[in-house]
Amino acid sequence: MYHRRPGRRRTRMDYLSFLGLLALLPLTHALWPFPQKRFTGNSLLAAGSMGLNGDGRVVALGDFDGDQSLDVLVLDKDQLTISAYYWNHDTFSFVPSEPITHTKKVVNVVPGDFTHSGKLDLLVMSQSQTRGQLDLTLYPSLMAKGFDANNPISITSSSLSQPIMIDIDGDMKIDLLGMTPTSKSSPDEPLQIWKNVWNESTSTSTLFHVEDAPFKGTQCVVSDPHSNAVVDLDGDCLADVFLTCDDGRGGKTYQIWINEKNRGFYLSQEGRLPAGTESISFADVADRDGTIDMVFPSCSRVDSSTGVGSDCYINIAYNEQVGLCSLTTDSGMRKGVRVCRTPGDLCIADTGFKFNLTDSPDNPLFVRFPVSSVFTSSSELLIRDTSFTPPIPVSLKLGDADLDGFPDILAIHIQGRDRTPQLVYSVPCGSGIAGCTKKGSGRRGWKVASKGVEALEKIKDARSLTFLDMDEDGTLDIMVQRTGDQGEGTILFVQNNFYYDAFFLKAIVLNGACDNGWCYNANGTERYHPFGVSYSGATYKYTVLDTAGRRSAAQVGQLPQTSYHSLQTPYSFFGLGRTNNYIENLFVGTTLHIPEHYINMEGVIPNSKVVILPSVVEGDAWKEELFLRPGEWIPWVTVTVVVGMLLLAIIVLVLHLNEKREDELERRKISHHINFAAL
């Protein structure tokens, strides 16, 4: 007798159905409208070298081809070969260009539009055969990609203290501020200006004319290395000058020179820096008060062979200025004296601004805390990169990694022989948090990131690092340069793949090279946008409302420092925190010597990039372009809208058919109705 096994046919059918589903998976995946994510995981992720292979080091960042993507400049280990690597979005990597071989060992490279052509040139600082000076050479940009290595322009040499970029006369052309070998020994006027006198219509034009700097007051001998910066310090959206000086006794002092446009600069403030002060960085790190502060490490001892600093402290010098008005109805004035700034008056100078670097419990403007309070294992930091000749200062890098509106810190922590990059978040003050008092009060505290940072913790041979936005996706990523002792290459990019419920804004002020927004070649047959030609000295101030309706202000400088491989991006990036509104006021300041050197942009959309083309002619309108970054949620919003419309259409159709059926029934009922009144 034949007995059928129960469930056998069902099992076979289930198996066949499963195979059918597997066959349909590729088709389903092909029809899926959303691209697969390159990086997955809510953490910092190692992204590799991105095409920067070899043993070179990144010495500068810039948009060399004007495509609004960040490119890098790499110097080979021999310190002679310079190569520009252009970002390719499709391959998600950098692509090398034709290298330039310099004749002398390169010390620093500064990208800038020195010839005012709308493209970045390369200013190369190299070791000189003459003791105590740096040779300066400019490689002009070509209309196509690359630089003119066959026709370099020689420039008057400087002292070993590297000159910085500045617009000294308000014409938006890049000048240089520094010292020549002869002026360094001058007791009265050691500071010199390499004034840009380039005339593109003359083939024999010189690039710079060296003259005394328009500084009224006692000038100092700039230290080497220095932390000189071009940044707005008095709050008028006009860049001032910060200098670090040698005091002649092994210590350092600082000077702040305020920009008075056509009247030159005057010495506003000077003072002594704390013992052991190293490289100074600038950012608005306080409680979103709209002022630029100073952040720097100080160490009791630095090993000259390894560059490791011992018994180190992190110092924050807050900039005291008139704050933002808390009441919307406040005029900001009391008996003719300004007591606060209204949202529309952010670019009003506060002549009474000050820094107080006195280490005292009674001084709220200066906060100093040991590195061991942040990194509990030791108090050592990498202060100088001795793998380069001459050694390069390693500064604390500032950037808003979590988009909360408060800059965070990148530092290289030393533990034994390990050199590990660390991300330190700016957090509200509380008990036991570094930078706060014992009672937990203070402006801001600092806490090392501990979750999702395995990609950084694995690195033990870091020598330099910086923030940058890889692939322009609206998050600050990290580039770590390494000695190669771990056998994993000399450059590693770390993708910031954390999800932040906050917004950002990127902005760049161009140098006015092309008045109408387009540049043309010599015969006028080709045109291009000058999108890559930012310059030092632009200033941004903005006000924004958080989700609770509280108004706050912040300030960001554009490319304030360019010396000693500062590795600052040509654009400015700032987090906005959580907000449900547009940016109320975005003030954009330039170095133009005109009555209104800034503009106020209202209602700027967050998560976008703003490109400002200022007009060098007084009275002409400035041009602004805004580029929105499509978020990952855009396709989902599209699907939601389409599905919602389909559901509404089905509901309308059903109601329409139902209404039509009811009308037909009513018409038939009326047609069969007998009019008894007519009988």
Residues 6+ apart with CB under 8 A from 376: none
SS3 at position 21:
helix
- Could you report the per-residue pLDDT of 437-479, keeping only the tens digit for each? 989 999 999 999 999 999 999 999 999 999 999 999 899 999 9
Instruction: Print the SS3 string covering 138-199.
Output: EECECCCCCECCCCCEEEEEEECCCCEEECCCCCCCCEEEECCCCHHHCCCCCCEEEEECCC
pLDDT value at residue 264: 93
pLDDT value at residue 31: 46
SS3 at position 96:
strand
- Could you report the per-residue pLDDT of 363-399, keeping only the tens digit for each? 999 999 999 999 988 899 999 999 999 999 999 999 9
User: Which of 530, 403, 568 has the alpha carbon at shortest distance from 473?
Assistant: 403
CB-based burial label for 152 (10 Å; 0-12, 13-18, 19+)? middle
Q: Please give the C-alpha separations between residue 75 and each of 159, 301, 568, in angstroms, as whole numbers.
A: 22, 30, 16
pLDDT surpassing 60 at residue 677: no
pLDDT value at residue 535: 92
Instruction: Print the SS3 string covering 545-603.
Output: ECCCCCEEEEEEECCCCCCCCCCCCCCEEEEEECCCCCEEEEEEECCCCCCCCEEEEEE
Q: What is the rounded end-to-end Cα distance, in angstroms, of the chain? A: 84
CA atoms within 13 Å, Cβ hemisphere of 613: 18
How big is the CA angle at 587 (ends 585 and 589), to the nearest 5 degrees?
180
Peptide bond into 390 cis (omega under 30): yes
Supply the mean pLDDT for the chain. Answer: 90
Segment 408-420 mean pLDDT: 96
Residues 184 and 221: their CA atoms lie apart, in Å, by 7
Segment 502-515 mean pLDDT: 91
SS3 at position 126:
strand
SS3 at position 58:
strand
pLDDT surpassing 70 at residue 3: no
pLDDT value at residue 550: 87
pLDDT level of residue 518 (50, 70, 90 thresholds)? confident
pLDDT value at residue 2: 39
User: Which of 625, 599, 600 has the alpha carbon at shortest distance from 610?
Assistant: 625
Segment 30-52 mean pLDDT: 78
Q: Do residues 174 and 113 touch, judged by C-beta distance below 8 A? A: yes
pTM of the model: 0.89
- Could you report the per-residue pLDDT of 67-105, keeping only the tens digit for each? 999 999 999 999 999 999 999 999 999 999 999 999 999
pLDDT value at residue 40: 81
- Could you report the per-residue pLDDT of 122-174, keeping only the tens digit for each? 999 999 999 999 999 999 999 888 999 999 999 999 999 999 999 999 999 99
Segment 424-431 mean pLDDT: 95
Residues 6+ apart with CB under 8 A from 222: 159, 161, 178, 179, 190, 191, 228, 243, 244, 245, 246
pLDDT level of residue 35 (50, 70, 90 thresholds)? low
How many Å separate Cα 423 from the centre of its chain?
16
Q: Which pair of structure tokens corresponds to residue 54?
A: 């070899």
Segment 589-617 mean pLDDT: 93
SS3 at position 101:
strand
Residues 404 and 546: their CA atoms lie apart, in Å, by 10
State the sign of the Cα–Cα–Cα–Cα dihedral 25, 27, 28, 30: positive
pLDDT value at residue 632: 63
The amino acid occupying position 501 is D
Q: Do residues 83 and 74 touch, judged by C-beta distance below 8 A? A: yes
Strands (DSSP E) along 54-152, which ranges?
57-62, 71-75, 81-88, 93-96, 100-101, 106-112, 121-127, 133-139
pLDDT value at residue 212: 95
Residue 520 has a CB neighbour count (10 Å cut-off) of: 14
pLDDT value at residue 521: 79
Residue in the structure block whose two tokens are 């009791």: 300
Residues 120 and 110: their CA atoms lie apart, in Å, by 10
pLDDT level of residue 267 (50, 70, 90 thresholds)? very high
Residues 374 and 424: their CA atoms lie apart, in Å, by 8
Peptide bond into 560 cis (omega under 30): no
Instruction: Print the SS3 string covering 249-270.
Output: CCCEEEEEEEECHHHCEEEEEE
Q: Checking DSSP bridges between strand 608-613 and strand 503-509, what pairing results, if any?
A: parallel
- The CB-based long-range contact list for 441-449 (8 Å cut-off, 24+ gap) reads 442/367, 443/286, 443/287, 443/318, 443/364, 443/367, 444/285, 444/286, 444/287, 444/406, 446/314, 446/369, 446/374, 446/409, 447/374, 448/374, 448/375, 448/422, 448/423, 448/424, 449/422, 449/423, 449/424, 449/425
Q: Which of 17-31, 586-600, 641-655, 661-675 has the lowest mean pLDDT?
A: 17-31
pLDDT value at residue 568: 97
SS3 at position 639:
helix
Residues 116 and 66: their CA atoms lie apart, in Å, by 14
Segment 338-363 mean pLDDT: 92
- Could you report the per-residue pLDDT of 309-334, keeping only the tens digit for each? 999 999 999 999 998 888 777 788 88
- Could you report the per-residue pLDDT of 111-120, keeping only the tens digit for each? 999 999 999 9
Strands (DSSP E) along 416-497, which ranges?
418-427, 445-448, 462-468, 477-482, 491-496
pLDDT level of residue 8 (50, 70, 90 thresholds)? very low
